[in-house]
Amino acid sequence: MKLYEFEGHNIFTKVGIDSPFFVTCTSLDEVKQAQKRLKFPIVAKVQVLSGKRGKSGGVRICKNEKELLSFCRDKFGSEFNGEIIRFINLAKKVDIEAELYASITYDTASKVPFLLFSFEGGVEIEEVKGKDPDKIIRVDIDPVNGLSKKDLGKIVTGEKLKDFLLRLWDAFVHYDCRLVEVNPIAKEGDSYFALDAKVILDDSGLLRHKDLDVLPKGAINAVATPREIEARRIDAQDYRGSAGSTFIEFDGDIAILASGGGASLMIMDAVVANGGQVANYTEYSGNPPAEKVEKLTEIVLSREGLNGCLVAGAVANFTDIYETLSGFAKGLKKVKPKVLYPIVVRRGGPRQKEAYEMLSKLARDEGFDINLFGPETPISVACKEIVELSKKYKDGNFGR
């Protein structure tokens, strides 16, 4: 999970990394109140998850109230690199003597964390690498013993800078981060401040840090929808299998319940290639119990404006098809108002025959339009079928 800058600063504060005083605002009224706690010039920074804010006009040094209010009025609610601006940080301007760069992340090839450091901060690290790669220093970190002053003594002098970098390592380790980055680190006198805070958390470690006050993030405009939030709670409450931890909403009208990471991506591609518009991306796998698939089904099908539902996946080796599709059937029956649009199911694996007999009976008894395809039918054919059936339903020609 990528964090907003102000959320990253909050994590840095927990490990003792100083940042210039700032106030995070969500409205123009809050800006007017916050400016009373700051002196001009004030640095105003839009809070978005994308980078390059400075180059794209997302950062402004405001010399007076008129400039500040004008900037914030223009930015609130506007789109910035595909995101809607909901937050703006107002920060004290620091008299910078030098700008440095530091980040810690993982090398997936060598399987060790490493520190990148440069005495040239304030610009994109890619620019420094392109102009003079020797100015970027890499230090591999022993994952057992961690970053030490001895390691840092090879690249920097000054105890306060070493302490800053050690605290950055503390944040990385303690909060299960995939990345921590400060660009720039500002030197003011003999002190160092984080003028920026880029933090990406490992989603797998979030359950260990319930004390962290971070906003849920979605796929569109960085704001998670209620369904996205609710779906992710399924796995958080039950470790058996996976159902809903990956859930992204889109603007389409065909609901998707896919199984298997590779197959689910192929399903999405095939639906789009046949002219369909998907309403969501989610998957269940690892042989989850029926109750987890039931919850996921209710969340997926609670979306208004659906014109079809596709339940599909490759041929499973270990997933109990009857168990998981029983969960789908129970969830389907709970959806209100009753589902009238077409449903296409394409699965294969253990107890598939029993599962399809159960779904056929459900369709007859409850009046659902469920179209069943076994493993002998390519997934692409099932995807084409749901697109065609959903179009007929939407056009009012369904069942004719």
Residue 120: which pLDDT band, with cuts at 50, 70 and 90? confident
- Higher-confidence position of 73 and 260: 73
- 3-state SS string for the chain: CECCHHHHHHHHHHCCCCCCCEEEECCHHHHHHHHHHCCCCEEEEECCCCCCCCCCCCEEEECCHHHHHHHHHHHCCCEECCEECCCEEEEECCCCCEEEEEEEEEECCCCEEEEEEECCCCCCHHHHHHHCHHHEEEEECCCCCCCCHHHHCCCCCCHHHHHHHHHHHHHHHHCCEEEEEEEEEEEECCEEEECCCEEEECHHHHHHCCCCCCCCCCCCCCCCCHHHHHHHHHHHHCCCCEEEEEEEECCCCEEEEEECHHHHHHHHHHHHHCCCCECEEEEEECCCCHHHHHHHHHHHHCCCCCCEEEEEEEECCCCCHHHHHHHHHHHHHHCCCCCCCCEEEEEECCCHHHHHHHHHHHHHHHCCCEEEECCCCCHHHHHHHHHHHHHHHHHCCCCC
In a 10 Å sphere around its CB, with 0-12 CB exposed, 13-18 middle and 19+ buried, how is residue 135 labelled?
middle
Q: What is the pLDDT of residue 10?
A: 93
Structure tokens, 50: 């994308």
> How many C-beta atoms surround the C-beta of residue 93 within 10 A?
16
Distance CA 199, CA 1 (A): 8
Distance CA 136, CA 73 (A): 39
Yes or no: say if 5 and 45 are a contact pair by the CB < 8 Å rule: yes
Mean pLDDT of 255-265: 89
Q: What percent of the chain has pLDDT over 70?
A: 96
pLDDT tens string 309-348: 999 998 988 899 999 999 999 999 999 999 999 999 999 9
Phi, psi of 121, rounded to the nearest 5 degrees: -105, -175
Q: What is the pLDDT of residue 222?
A: 60
Q: Mean pLDDT, the chain, as a whole number?
A: 91
Top mean-pLDDT range of 70-74, 120-124, 143-147: 70-74
* CA-wise closest residue to 278 among 304, 254, 309: 254
Residue 276: which pLDDT band, with cuts at 50, 70 and 90? very high
- Higher-confidence position of 237 and 57: 57
Distance CA 374, CA 241 (A): 23
CATH topology of domain 21-92: Dna Ligase; domain 1 (3.30.1490)
Q: What is the pLDDT of residue 154?
A: 86
CATH superfamily label, 98-208: ATP-grasp fold, B domain (3.30.470.20)
Distance CA 284, CA 295 (A): 11
Exposure on the CB side of residue 227, measured as CA atoms within 13 A: 20
Is the pLDDT at 389 greater than 70? The verdict is yes
Yes or no: say if 321 and 352 are a contact pair by the CB < 8 Å rule: yes
User: What letter represents residue 312's amino acid?
Assistant: A
User: What letter represents residue 269's amino acid?
Assistant: D
Q: How far is CA 58 from the centre of its chain?
A: 21
Is the pLDDT at 89 greater than 80? The verdict is yes
Q: What is the pLDDT of residue 399?
A: 54
Residue 223: which pLDDT band, with cuts at 50, 70 and 90? low
Mean pLDDT of 18-23: 94
- Higher-confidence position of 198 and 51: 198
Q: Where are the domains of the chain?
A: 21-92, 98-208, 226-395
CATH of domain 226-395: 3.40.50.261
Distance CA 105, CA 231 (A): 29
Q: What is the pLDDT of residue 275?
A: 95
pLDDT tens string 283-295: 999 999 999 999 9
Radius of gyration, alpha carbons of the chain: 26
Give this prediction's pTM: 0.65
Which residue is listed with tokens 């800058």?
5
Which residue is listed with tokens 């690290």?
125
Q: What is the pLDDT of residue 400?
A: 40
